[in-house]
Structure 1
Amino acid sequence: MHNGSFARFTRPEHIDMELVSVAYRDRKFPAHIHHQYVVGGVENGVERLDVHGGSHVVGEGDIITLDPGLAHSNCSVGNDVLKYRVFYLPPDLVKRFTGRSDLRFNAPSRSDESAVQRLLRLHRWFELEAGERFEQESAVAEIIEIAFDGAGRPEREDLFPEVVRRARCYIDEHYQENFGLDELARSAGASKFHLARSFKRAHGLSPFAYRTQRRIHEAQHMVLAGRPLVKIATDLGFSDQSHLTRQFQSMVGISPARYREQ
């Protein structure tokens, strides 16, 4: 980190989710995805979210709501330190609480000062590692209620053409391998040009960038499991440990070593 920036990750004892509290100045994240629902609130400063070609200015009193797999980039804006707190809610967790797997947000952010304060309060409470299982589960129910209050909608599968779905499945199964666009296009039954264009339109990421995201997502699990970084790099198809570390820090915000310490 630089300029006094930090990112602190927390993993509750009884709930399969992750929290992050950040403070950034002059920080930019390239286009990336999360495999969880992202729900959070801005405490201070302003950031810009770029999603599907549109820009959204998010500041104090705003809720951040991003769907799983939604490509976005973000950066701090202005001279103030950007501070926000975010919950990463796995889709399976949301489904267990709501009975639905098709919930999607209408927009990547919304203004709701009262709801933001409730989210921030819950976030600080989880950071203290307080509460037994029932209490933590009750808190998650409140988070989900806030997140999807008037914002849920069914997923539109027609946004993902069949060739894109086939390519995505191939990447999800073979992301450790260093395949090329030729192999991916054959698996999808499309030309390289058509696949690359369709995939980018559907996901907001190129197939190559999506594969990198899958690798980093798996690397997070491996890092927490205590696997040596050089072994993780080899198993996930990175050229070396330095390559893994650069990509990890670019997407997660901190190095693999610091991520493991937290």
Structure 2
Amino acid sequence: MRRLRDPDTGCTWDLAQDFASVAPYTIEEAYEVADAIDRADVTALKEELGDLLLQVVYHAQIAAEAGAFSFADVAAGITAKMIARHPHVFDTKTHAIDSGMTDVRWEELKHTERADKGADSSMDGVARALPALMRAQKLQKRAARDGFDWPNVEGPLAKLHEEIDEFTAAPDDTARAEEAGDLLFAAVNLLRAYGIDGEQALRSANEKFERRYRAMEELAADAFSSLSLEEQEALWQSVKLREQPGCPSPQVA
């Protein structure tokens, strides 16, 4: 990377990059790592981890050129952080604690770290670049740790129904867009109350929809878009039925 960014002999494109321009690639590579894991493709995972590591090296090199920090500083920093967050492993004076207490201790240490960095709100440190659904979950968890949370699932369930009513009653597109955000936020809160990871749940729903849609296209023999809505719905129901355990694959003319 130092050679790629050498002012005299480096690559023009690499020299033109900065933190902001590289950041989208970093996010993309992280998602490709997650995708390889979801597909249980270990060969792809090895390659994608290399691509992700390159992003870390890239940012570290840009920082080193500015005299801010180096790749070695990045590695040393995360090493120190992991040691500090795992005293039950690295501190021989600390007695072994169960997994539940480990989670509590982890959150306490992260809270202390945020305070040491000057955080003055429980909302500080929740990255704005996170996917909106994932960020909603994190914001809600932070609030819950402060006691700002429903005591049971009935609260968020009622709130979701309230937000649906407000969305449908919105007087114009601007108000409806705002209510849409509130509706999604309330849905995330309800899932969290049931211990369901909203990001994973939506990812699974996306996969299911794509799988079923592709199956409909296959059954329709490349004529899916020419079918009526009623015929498309019939195919959808056939595909759903086919996914039920023990059901034979339907034959569609």
Q: TM-score, normalised by structure 1?
A: 0.27
Larger Rg: 2
Pick the structure with more strand per residue: 1
Q: TM-score, normalised by structure 2?
A: 0.27
Q: Which has the higher contact order (CA 8 A, sep 6+)?
A: 1
